[in-house]
Every structure is written in structure tokens, then in C-alpha cells.
């Protein structure tokens, strides 16, 4: 488009917490709502959703209430609606065998325990072992509205991502492929800490955001990287160091809270979904009780 046609550009950002709450109130005002519905919690649980997403969320909640033959939309309907909008429909046709279900319970329990005890983690909302989308289980937190993040926050985020893998190793003594997405998330955060956010003491205050523009006549195989081979090795070493340190930290914390991990996993095997306060009580209960004998895989 030639300059002068559309000079004014209007950027509409995604709504923040107060705006999401107002949007949810608007779309809920003509719906019959149970008194237990907490739209403030739902607004906190929906970061990144647009106004259309939130309208769809309320409509999905109403549909869940109709399917239950309920006269009003209840909290569980909003929970199910959010899970469906974010993760996809529940995979009711997927039936895990007892070994897989137990492994999933400990995997998600590892995430949940770390989300509860790590000092810089967002508050835990709930954890479930009901398969949705491509996931066998999900651990949800309630992200706080913030615009800058500390190194400690990202370290806790990586540590929490390692929790599922580490919990399985502690309990069963071996690993499986269920942590692929966790490792991808953790590696991506560590990479950006080193390459973009200056959070590596060895690299220092330098940033490499990605591939440079290839100019006419340059070699496509060599022009894209912004640093030397020796620097690339240092970057890789720092990324690896961060990941290994947080994996070791997750192992230390979960070993200390092993009984709490066992209680959370046992509750998940019975209830399938438990909320953050329940996880907190189980973790605290575990601090006052000895760990059971080692579970055999």
C-alpha cells in the first residue's frame, strides 16, 4: 500500500486482567450463573485470550451446563470450557493402562508440587490426568499480570518443566517419552535467557535475537549467524548448564517433598483432577509424614 493511503495505524493489544474480567461480565450478563462462579479467577486463568476467545468461553460453558441438564452455569462448566478452548476436547476414547495412568499421575504431580513450593512460580490452579488434545495430563497455573520477568522466575519455570521427568525418575527409576513438550519449553526458555535476555554471567550483556538478514551476494550457509564458532559453543554450554542445574534442583526439591508427591499422585489416581489448594494441603501433609517404601515400576 502506497504511503498516504492509511497513515494512522491502530494497534489493539490483547486484553489484560481487568479488561478480560469486564469482557466476561458483559458476555455473562444474559446467562443464568451459579453463585459459585468466580469470574475473577477465570479472568486470571485466561491470559492471552482475545475478546472473541472469551465470548466463546462463555458460550462453551453454557453448552456444558446444558449437557449436564443444569439450570445455571456452574464453576465446573467454566473449567471444562477453558480446558476445551485452550487444549482441545477431552479424549474420552483414549484409555490409559494402569501403568501409564500411574506414570501420568506422578508426572503431573511433579509439576504440581514444584508449582506449589518454588518461590517464584505462578500460583497453582489445578492439575488433571484427564487426556486433552495431545496431552495425557495438564498442570495449570494462574499467571500474574506482569510485563517484565526476573531470572529467578525463568529458573523456576524451567525447574517446574523438569518436574514431570524428574518425578518419574525418582519414583520409577526410568524415563519415558512423555516429557518431550516439557523439554522443548525448558530449552526454549534457557536459549532465550542466554541469547536474548542477558541472563548468563559468562555471555554477559549481549543479545542475539535470531537469524540476520541475508544480503545479496552473501553465502546462505554462513551469513545467518551473528557470532563465531567459539561463541556458539559457549552459548550451547550455557544453555546446557542452565537446564542441568534446574533438573538437579527439581530432583533435590522433589526428593525432599517425596511424600507430598506420593499423596498428590494418589489423589490424582482417585479424583483425576484436583485444585491448587488441595495440592498445597497434601504437600504440607507430606512434610509431617515419612515417605512410603519405594514404589516399584
List active site positions.
108
Is 162 within 8 Å of 182 (Cβ atoms)? Answer: yes
Give the separation between CA 127 and CA 109, rounded to whole angstroms.
Answer: 8
Amino acid at each position: 500500500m502506497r504511503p498516504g493511503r492509511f497513515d494512522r495505524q491502530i494497534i489493539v493489544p490483547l486484553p489484560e486482567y481487568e479488561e478480560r474480567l469486564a469482557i466476561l461480565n458483559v458476555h455473562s450478563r444474559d446467562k443464568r450463573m451459579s453463585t459459585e462462579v468466580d469470574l475473577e479467577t477465570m479472568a486470571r486463568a485466561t491470559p492471552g485470550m482475545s475478546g472473541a476467545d472469551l465470548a466463546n468461553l462463555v458460550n462453551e460453558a453454557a453448552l456444558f451446563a446444558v449437557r449436564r441438564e443444569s439450570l445455571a452455569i456452574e464453576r465446573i462448566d467454566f473449567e471444562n470450557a477453558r480446558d476445551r478452548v485452550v487444549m482441545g476436547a477431552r479424549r474420552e476414547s483414549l484409555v490409559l493402562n494402569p501403568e501409564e495412568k500411574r506414570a501420568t499421575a506422578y508426572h503431573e504431580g511433579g509439576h504440581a508440587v514444584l508449582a506449589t513450593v518454588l518461590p517464584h512460580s505462578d500460583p497453582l490452579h489445578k492439575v488433571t490426568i484427564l487426556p486433552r488434545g495431545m496431552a495425557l495430563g495438564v498442570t495449570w497455573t494462574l499467571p500474574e499480570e506482569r510485563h517484565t520477568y526476573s531470572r529467578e522466575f525463568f529458573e523456576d519455570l524451567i525447574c517446574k518443566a523438569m518436574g514431570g521427568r524428574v518425578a518419574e525418575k525418582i519414583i520409577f527409576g526410568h524415563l519415558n517419552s512423555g516429557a518431550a513438550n516439557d523439554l522443548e519449553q525448558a530449552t526454549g526458555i534457557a536459549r532465550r535467557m542466554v541469547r536474548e535476555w542477558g541472563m548468563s554471567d559468562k555471555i554477559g550483556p549481549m543479545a542475539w535475537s535470531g537469524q540476520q538478514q541475508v544480503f545479496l551476494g552473501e553465502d546462505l550457509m554462513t551469513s545467518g549467524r551473528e557470532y563465531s564458532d567459539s561463541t556458539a559453543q559457549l552459548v550451547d554450554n550455557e544453555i546446557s548448564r542452565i537446564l542441568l542445574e534446574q533438573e538437579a534442583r527439581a530432583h533435590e526439591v522433589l526428593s525432599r517433598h517425596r511424600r507430598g508427591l506420593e499423596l498428590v499422585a494418589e489423589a490424582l489416581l482417585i479424583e483425576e483432577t484436583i485444585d491448587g489448594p488441595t495440592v498445597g494441603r497434601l504437600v504440607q501433609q507430606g512434610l509431617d509424614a515419612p515417605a512410603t517404601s519405594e514404589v516399584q515400576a
